Chains A and B, each alone.
Chain A
């Protein structure tokens, strides 16, 4: 075959894309770069269906931040929908919901040391000694099945057993010798005995329990966010939630219930001395002393946010803002809710973890 003069003149052009392809395929290996020695972590969900979730790091003292510690340390993204992170000693357990896994990282370097995969819509990890309890949802939307708690040996990062609980278990609490699992698509809390790893009781509470804390006097506080159900796209029922205090020991007697007229509190957290509670409700953050006899009427902070965290070392408040299409920002407030700093974080910033 012979090339025409024109064709041969065009030939160099043909190689251009090739050259570009070669250039662009030179992969960068950044795994050896040093990550920021952070002590505040921002969990950025990323875009659903795309594993561009991230964990941003921040240092309280120097106010330095790093947008994606996991990517920087490991040369890959952490996964699809970063749901939560639990810090245990020098390990971080990053729960990645739509990647069905938990990434175990060594802190503060953030290098991955293990991946606990094959989980079902994992949500939060609670820890007792060297055992982790991972809440997982099961079944499809509109037809959720009872969820489960995977019992994980943190020494080997393997699943030892699973315990079936109620639908859509959320942020569980280890208190004494029990694990309290709030089943958010129900009005129940499953109580798992830490010795037998079996459900020993199911407590009936208000609708939509989602998070718990234990206060300084040992009582358990439970936030129930309420449940709104839809049928054919329209609201078919609205069950309001409540803030509930009950005893951490059998028979788990309810001590007080503060009902909400509509909706309910979520993301319950405690102050460092466990004498105050923080929760979000209706787009604002509220603070309540554990000795209070009524719900607070005014929030401590009202502004648009996706999630908040209370720094257990100094009661400072962090909020996560931004969209699910662009990088967001986290804002740091003092323990008296005065703005201190803000820093860039990843897409879909929604939660915090502290070290």
Chain B
């Protein structure tokens, strides 16, 4: 976003001579250790009232997932999805500073190639085509599933590198209330509350979070007098989030779900080390409301959902009058799933979206309609073979992106008493509709822009073992290749106006490995997760006016990244560690400058007390324990060693 405004700013100032611009994890299908059972089969569909947790795996055989469940998310209750993903997975979350714009690019693609879904709807800003993961607090989320690769095309536009599916927290039977308070270094404070109530007919869940940070940490920069220690300026933030879900049984077979998510962030924009502090600020407000009805029979399920998502972004600094951006999407989805046999199901669906945007840079209100139809087929010819075949066809104004099909297969190649090995593969084509900025920005917006498309395939292994009742182990290995065509790049045209053009072909290929182990002995329980990704992403072809070189690793795509986390639990004592390694990253398209590799270690120690129906948890968390001096994005200071103390009281 900052970049985008910069681009706008720059093209505006061009005349003045200032020509500038501007994985670890497991398929949820296998999430429960134990004997293999096809997940999400009809047996589960007919549960009593259930808060709709859209698990993404059912029609995604052969796909790779990185999942953070509620246990993995627990240390991040006062933080954001950006914190959780960057702390616990080898995914590279690019951030302009703590709490600042954070974007996720999967498999060497860019941020706008990641679809982010909540209750089945894409919540990327329609103006920018990407999400800011710093604006998505973890509080209220039950799990985060990242589906890698273009097989995520079933979610619609933008899922070229992959998709992030945010799952709402469930509401267990009975009444639960919890509240937490957190305080830490650099003026970090957070207060959260969540409560749920569920009986046979109604499930209600509320969660609320407010957090603040001054981010006035010290960093080092080089100036005339040599290395100097400076206190970070203009990086404070206040953020709040409210989630409210209600699910009501309607008749014997129906259920109505309503969900609301409000987020508000008021951030100062952290200046780069060496740039002047122009007192930049950004206000982001989003409101998301979903209303759904689901009707189930023994062999079918029909659901209809309507949603309204609205986003407001206001940005200003000393050199730029306030820039306003307001956009909203009204959208509806209709799905019908037919389960002919326990091993054969077909889902047909359609989606309509109506966008309205009032953005200063467009100069006029803009509206756009988009439609899509899809079919998802899952067929398990035997207990050892799972097949899925999906297709999605979108209709965009004036443009029809190509059909986005996905085919996936999983085959149990070997099985012993307590071990099994699966082979899996998938191939897909996906697309990205041009963003509203790309189409309507004035000057420069290009209404003739073609959708970007990607073709990709992946193949891999999944291994799981159960050694007695004490140890379970799962491991995944995936190799993939992805080709993105019509990659959009903003470049100046003959008249010097920056305009987006379909200019490039980008190829990404790599290997992802992950393993998860659980070990239990008497009162001690250990969970360890390790992940590694090798990513090679390069521009392969371009046009003459696109002077960036081919064959160079794209900027901000680390070739190697790894994560290792452990969670220990012994008689109410809790210990967690999370370590990540990020390889060096080029900061320019020419591969001439780079940020050095860094490793980070976070950890926490806590104690859980039970007292009747109360449970109290006290946790001391340490961030960047080795006090590494590092930069995630060039010239943006990151905090040194820091601590947080949190207290949580839960009643059930």
Name A's B-contacting residues (CB within 8 A). Answer: 1-2, 4, 6-7, 10, 13-14, 16-25, 45, 47-52, 67, 74-77, 79-81, 83, 97-101, 103, 112, 114-115, 121, 123, 137, 140-143, 168, 170, 184-185, 208, 210, 225, 227-228, 230-235, 266-267, 283, 304, 306-307, 321-328, 347-348, 350
Contacts and interface: CB of A to CB of B under 8 A. Distances in A.
A160 B587 CA distance: 39
A322 B16 contact: no
Contacts of A328: 547
B466 interface: no
Contacts of B222: 74-76
Interface in B524-558: 524, 526, 528, 530, 545-549, 555
Given A25-B628, A321-B547, A233 B276 contact: no
B285 interface: no
A85 to B, nearest CB: 14
B599 A21 contact: yes
A124 B189 CA distance: 45
B600 to A, nearest CB: 7
Contacts of B566: 7, 10, 14
A210 B570 CA distance: 73
* Residue among A21, A24, A103 having the largest count of chain B Cβ atoms under 10 Å: A21
Contacts of B30: none
7 contacts: A7-B526, A18-B579, A20-B581, A99-B275, A306-B19, A326-B549, A347-B588
Nearest to A1: B570
B274 A77 contact: yes
A267 B15 CA distance: 11
B590 A326 contact: yes
B382 interface: no
B526 to A, nearest CB: 6
* Residue among B16, B443, B630 having the largest count of chain A Cβ atoms under 10 Å: B16
A326 B19 CA distance: 15
B599 to A, nearest CB: 3
Given A6-B528, A141-B12, A141-B321, 11 more contacts: A16-B599, A45-B19, A45-B20, A47-B21, A48-B21, A80-B274, A99-B275, A140-B317, A233-B442, A347-B588, A350-B19
Contacts of B593: 52
B15 A228 contact: yes
Contacts of B496: 283
Nearest to B275: A80
Q: Nearest 4 A-B pairs (CB), nearest first?
A: A233-B363, A233-B442, A17-B599, A51-B274
B589 to A, nearest CB: 4
A17 B579 contact: yes
Nearest to B599: A17
A150 to B, nearest CB: 15
* Residue among A17, A52, A170, A228 having the largest count of chain B Cβ atoms under 10 Å: A17
Contact of B555 (A98, A208, A283, A325): A325
A231 B12 CA distance: 12
A204 B568 CA distance: 77
Interface stretch (B1-9, B72-80, B612-620): B1-9
Interface in B591-629: 592-593, 596-601, 626, 628-629
Interface residues of B, number: 86
Contacts of B12: 141-142, 230
Contacts of A266: 17
B319 A99 contact: no
Contacts of B18: 45, 81, 83, 97
A52 B592 contact: no
Contact of A324 (B20, B318, B573, B626): B20
B271 to A, nearest CB: 8
B20 A48 contact: yes
A2 B634 CA distance: 41
Contact of B274 (A20, A24, A79, A325): A79
Given A4-B526, A17-B579, A79-B274, A230 B442 contact: yes
B11 to A, nearest CB: 10
B442 A234 contact: yes
A266 B634 CA distance: 33
B275 A7 contact: no
A306 B10 CA distance: 14
A99 B573 contact: no
B494 A24 contact: no
A121 B13 CA distance: 12
A143 B318 CA distance: 11
A21 B598 contact: yes
A103 B223 CA distance: 10
A168 B9 CA distance: 15
A50 B272 contact: yes
Contacts of A52: 587-588, 593, 634-635
B577 interface: yes
Contact of A24 (B568, B580, B589, B598): B598
A167 to B, nearest CB: 10
B1 to A, nearest CB: 11
Contact of A6 (B15, B519, B555, B577): B519
A17 B581 contact: yes
Given A4-B524, A10-B528, A143-B321, A17 B562 contact: yes
A14 to B, nearest CB: 6
A189 to B, nearest CB: 16
A170 B364 contact: no
Nearest to B587: A52
Nearest to A142: B321
A326 B548 contact: yes
Contact of B321 (A47, A140, A170, A235): A140
A49 B528 CA distance: 40
B22 interface: yes
Given A7-B526, A20-B597, A112-B224, A51 B547 contact: no
Nearest to A25: B629
Contacts of B2: 49
A18 B601 contact: yes
Given A21-B600, A306-B19, A327 B592 contact: yes
A266 B496 CA distance: 14
A103 to B, nearest CB: 8
Given A184-B16, A326-B547, A48 B224 contact: no
B395 interface: no
A17 B588 contact: no
A13 B564 contact: yes
